Amino acid sequence: MNQLKDTRWRQRFINFEKSFQSLSKYIDQPINTEIERAGIIQLFEIAFELSWKLMKDYLEALGFSPKSPRETIKQAYQTGLIEDGHIWIDALADRNLIVHTYDENLAKRMTGDIVLAYFPELKKLYAKLIEEL
């Protein structure tokens, strides 16, 4: 691995880890109010953004060159970095949707998806990469 690229993903991991731990702290708490939903969604947006950039840096260290979040997710799935590409693509679509549109029903659905589907995938990525540090 190129030393600079290897260092880049490791540095990105530190930021991802902080955001993942913030989300972890609140993911099991009751999410009943609009402010609680907004908080979980915001923490997820930050963790998700850092997660795909982390995957991109990791893949670049392996010699790949994905250009977009979607390409990064597909390549991460193909290389076995992530297990369920469909959930990651759904998370990307939801992240893009909630950034441009706020709707209470969408927020309620998305918080459920974050808790039940997206967070477990972030957790798997975290576990896989922490072993490589």
Task: Residue 40: give its domain's CATH number.
Answer: 1.20.120.330
pLDDT confidence of 124, banded at 50, 70, 90? Answer: very high
- For residue 102, is it left (φ>0), alpha (ψ between -120 and 50) or beta? beta
Spatial CA neighbour of 80 closest among 129, 30, 28: 129
Q: How many domains, the chain?
A: 1
pLDDT confidence of 6, banded at 50, 70, 90? Answer: confident
Structure confidence by residue, pLDDT tens digits, 61-95:
999 999 999 999 999 999 999 999 999 999 999 99
Contacting residues for 118 by C-beta, under 8 A, at least 6 apart: 44, 48, 87, 90, 91, 94
Range of the domain at 82: 3-130
CA 112 to chain CA centroid, nearest Å: 16
Give yes or no for a contact between 85 and 77, defined as CB atoms under 8 angstroms apart. yes
Can you give the pTM of this predicted structure?
0.94
Write out the DSSP string of 4-70. Answer: HHHHHHHHHHHHHHHHHHHHHHHHTS---SHHHHHHHHHHHHHHHHHHHHHHHHHHHHTT----SHH
Judged against a pLDDT cut of 70, whether residue 111 lies above it is answered with: yes
